Amino acid sequence: MAIRHYLIVLLGIFACIANAEAAETDKPKVTFDGFGSLGVSHSSMKSGDYVLDSSIPKGPGLSEDLSFGNDSRIAVHLAADLTPKISAVLQVVSEYHTPNTYEPEVEWANVKYAFTPDLYIRLGRIALPTFMHSDTRDVGYTYVWIHPPLELYRQLPISHSDGVDGMYRVQIGESVNSIKVILYGENTLERENSTSNSKDMWGIFDTIEYGPTTAHIGYQERLASTENSQGVTGPWIRNSDLSLGVQYDPGDWFAISEWIRRESTTRISAMYISGGYRVKKFTPYLTYAQNSPGTFLSGFPPPTANSIRLANRAQSAVSLGVRWDFMKNADLKLQYDQVKLSDNSNGFLANVPTGVILYGAKFHVISAVVDFVF
Q: SS3 sequence, 260-318?
A: EEEECCEEEEEEEEEEEECECCEEEEEEEEEECCCEECCCCCCCCHHHHHHHCCCEEEE
Mean pLDDT across the stretch 218-241?
Answer: 92
Q: Alpha-carbon distance 67 to 57, whole Å? A: 12
18-67: pLDDT as tens digits: 555 555 556 678 999 999 999 999 999 999 999 999 899 999 999 999 99
The mean pLDDT value for 243-267 works out to: 97
Statement: residue 315 has pLDDT above 70 = yes
Compare 200 and 229 and report the one with higher pLDDT: 200
Instruction: At 340, give phi and psi (nearest 5°).
Output: -120, 125
Fold of 3-373: Porin (2.40.160)
Which pLDDT belongs to residue 26?
61
Given pLDDT bands bounded at 50, 70 and 90, which one contains residue 210?
A: very high
Are residues 364 and 44 in contact, defined by beta-carbon separation less than 8 angstroms? yes
Is the pLDDT assigned to residue 9 strictly greater than 50?
A: no
Beta-carbon count within 10 A of 25 CB: 11
Local confidence band at 231 (pLDDT 50, 70, 90 cut-offs): confident
Paired with 4 in beta bridges are none
pTM for this entry = 0.90
Cis peptide bond prior to 117, omega within 30° of 0: no
C-alpha–C-alpha distance, residues 12 and 20, integer Å? 12
Q: How far apart are CA 168 and CA 118, in angstroms?
A: 6
pLDDT (mean) for 101-123: 97
Q: What is the mean pLDDT of residues 87-96?
A: 97
Share of the chain above pLDDT 90, in %: 82
Q: Which long-range contacts (CB under 8 A, 24 or more apart) does 238-243 make?
A: 238/264, 239/198, 239/263, 239/264, 240/264, 241/130, 241/155, 241/156, 241/203, 242/218, 243/130, 243/131, 243/216, 243/217, 243/218, 243/219
d(CA 271, CA 47): 26
Contact 187, 160 (CB under 8 A): yes
Burial 315-333 (b: 16+ CB within 10 A, else e): bbbebebbbbbeeeeebeb
Rounded to 5 degrees, φ, ψ at 52 are -80, -30
Computed over every residue of the chain, the mean pLDDT equals 92
- The string of pLDDT tens digits covering residues 335-374 is 999 999 999 999 999 999 998 999 999 999 999 999 999 9
